[in-house]
Amino acid sequence: MAAPRPSLASFPPLRAWQRRGMVEYLRRRADGSGGIRSGVGGTGGNFLAVATPGAGKTTFALRIAAELLVDGPVEAITVVTPTEHLKSQWATAASAVGIELDATFRNADVHSAADFHGAVVTYAQVGMAPAVHRRRTLARRTMVILDEIHHAGDSRSWGDGVKSAFEPAVRRLMLTGTPFRSDENRIPFVTYERGPDGLLRSRSDSSYGYADALADGVVRPVIFLAYSGETRWRTSAGDELAARLGEPMTKDVVAHAWRTALDPTGEWMPQVLRAADARLQAKRSGGIPDAGGLVIATDRQTARAYAKLLETISGEKAVVVLSDDAGASGRIAAFAASNQRWLVAVRMVSEGVDIPRLAVGVYATSASTPLFFSQAIGRFVRVRRSGETASVFLPSVTHLLELASEMEAQRDHVLGARSVREGLDDELLDRASRAEKGSDELTKQFEALSATAELDQVIFDGTSFGLPVQTGTPEEEEYLGLPGLLTPGQMATLLAHRQAEQTAAARRRGPGGRADGGPADGSPDGRAAGPSPQLTAGERRIALRRQLNGLVAAHHHRTGLAHGKIHAELRRLCGGPASAQATIAQLEERIASLRTM
Residue 164 has pLDDT above 90, yes or no: yes
Lowest mean pLDDT among 135-139, 230-234, 320-324: 320-324
pLDDT digits (tens, 9 = 90+) for 264-310: 999 999 999 999 999 999 999 988 999 999 999 988 999 999 999 99
Distance between CA atoms of residues 503 and 310, nearest Å: 33
Which tops the pLDDT comparison, 352 or 424?
352
Looking at the DSSP bridge assignments, the partners of residue 102 are: 119
* Torsion sign across C-alpha atoms 192, 195, 200, 202: negative
Residues 122 and 203 in one domain: yes
pLDDT in the model for residue 184: 63
Does any domain span residue 442?
Answer: no
Please, how many CA atoms are within 13 Å of residue 379, restricted to the half-sphere of its CB? 28
Residues 176 and 263 in one domain: no
Determine the average pLDDT of the residues in 572-593.
84
Which DSSP letter does residue 12 get?
P
Residue 154 has pLDDT above 60, yes or no: no
Strand pairing category for 191-194 and 171-176: unpaired
Does any domain span residue 252?
Answer: no
Residues 346 and 458 in one domain: yes
pLDDT digits (tens, 9 = 90+) for 405-429: 776 555 443 444 444 444 444 444 3
Residues 470 and 521 in one domain: no
Which tops the pLDDT comparison, 310 or 330?
310
pLDDT in the model for residue 429: 38
pLDDT in the model for residue 478: 87
Instruction: Pinpoint the alpha helices (H) of 286-369.
Output: 300-314, 328-337
Residues 50 and 154 in one domain: yes
Determine the average pLDDT of the residues in 457-470.
82
Residue 456 has pLDDT above 80, yes or no: yes
Looking at the DSSP bridge assignments, the partners of residue 234 are: 240, 447
Identity of the residue numbered 549: N
pLDDT in the model for residue 534: 60
Distance between CA atoms of residues 396 and 249, nearest Å: 12
pLDDT digits (tens, 9 = 90+) for 375-402: 888 889 888 888 889 999 999 988 888 8
pLDDT classification of 156: cutoffs 50, 70, 90: low
Residues 471 and 514 in one domain: no
Q: Which domain CATH number covers 116?
A: 3.40.50.10810
Residue 33 has pLDDT above 80, yes or no: no
Residues 287 and 415 in one domain: yes
Does any domain span residue 61?
Answer: yes
The per-residue pLDDT of the chain, averaged, comes to 80
Q: Could you tell me the residue range of the domain that residue 550 belongs to?
A: 509-597
pLDDT classification of 59: cutoffs 50, 70, 90: very high
Tally of structural domains, the chain: 3
Under 8 Å between Cβ of 142 and 118: yes
Determine the average pLDDT of the residues in 177-190.
69
Which DSSP letter does residue 84 get?
H
pLDDT in the model for residue 1: 59
Question: Residue 379 contacts by C-beta under 8 Å, 6 or more apart in sequence?
Answer: 53, 294, 349, 350, 353, 355, 358, 361
Segment (H or E) for 584: helix 584-595
Segment (H or E) for 505: helix 488-508
pLDDT digits (tens, 9 = 90+) for 502-552: 777 777 765 544 333 334 333 334 344 344 446 677 777 777 877 787 677
Instruction: Pinpoint the alpha helices (H) of 360-410.
Output: 370-377, 398-405
Residue 577 has pLDDT above 60, yes or no: yes
Which DSSP letter does residue 318 get?
P
Residues 362 and 462 in one domain: yes
Determine the average pLDDT of the residues in 581-587.
84
DSSP percent split of the chain into helix, strand, coil, nearest 5: 40, 20, 40
Cβ neighbourhood burial of 250 (10 Å; 0-12, 13-18, 19+): middle
Does any domain span residue 497?
Answer: no
Residues 472 and 568 in one domain: no
The model carries a pTM of: 0.72
Determine the average pLDDT of the residues in 125-142.
94
Instruction: Pinpoint the alpha helices (H) of 129-155.
Output: 130-139
Residue 81 has pLDDT above 80, yes or no: yes
Residues 62 and 170 in one domain: yes
Determine the average pLDDT of the residues in 473-478.
87
pLDDT in the model for residue 244: 85
Query: Could you tell me the CA-to-CA distances from 289 to 247, 320, 340, 456, 517 in Å, in that order?
Result: 38, 22, 11, 28, 40
Residue 186 has pLDDT above 80, yes or no: no
Does any domain span residue 492?
Answer: no
Does any domain span residue 148?
Answer: yes
- Please report, rounded to a whole number, the percentage of residues in the chain having pLDDT higher than 70: 81
Looking at the DSSP bridge assignments, the partners of residue 269 are: none
Residue 443 has pLDDT above 50, yes or no: no
Query: Could you tell me the CA-to-CA distances from 406 to 401, 507, 580 in Å, in that order?
Result: 9, 31, 11
pLDDT in the model for residue 338: 94
Under 8 Å between Cβ of 574 and 586: yes
Longest pairwise C-alpha distance within the chain: 83
Residues 162 and 301 in one domain: no
- Please report, rounded to a whole number, the percentage of residues in the chain having pLDDT higher than 90: 33
Determine the average pLDDT of the residues in 559-586.
81
Cβ neighbourhood burial of 93 (10 Å; 0-12, 13-18, 19+): middle
Q: Which domain CATH number covers 315?
A: 3.40.50.300
The number of beta carbons lying within 10 Å of the beta carbon of residue 236 is 11
* Burial per residue of 398-420, b for 16 or more beta-carbon CB atoms within 10 angstroms, e otherwise: bbbbbbbbbbbebbbbbbeeeee
* Burial per residue of 123-158, b for 16 or more beta-carbon CB atoms within 10 angstroms, e otherwise: bbbbbebbebbbebbeeebbbbbbbbbbbbbbeeeb
Does any domain span residue 103?
Answer: yes
pLDDT digits (tens, 9 = 90+) for 195-239: 777 777 778 889 998 888 888 888 888 999 999 988 998 877 778
Does any domain span residue 440?
Answer: no
Residues 79 and 192 in one domain: yes
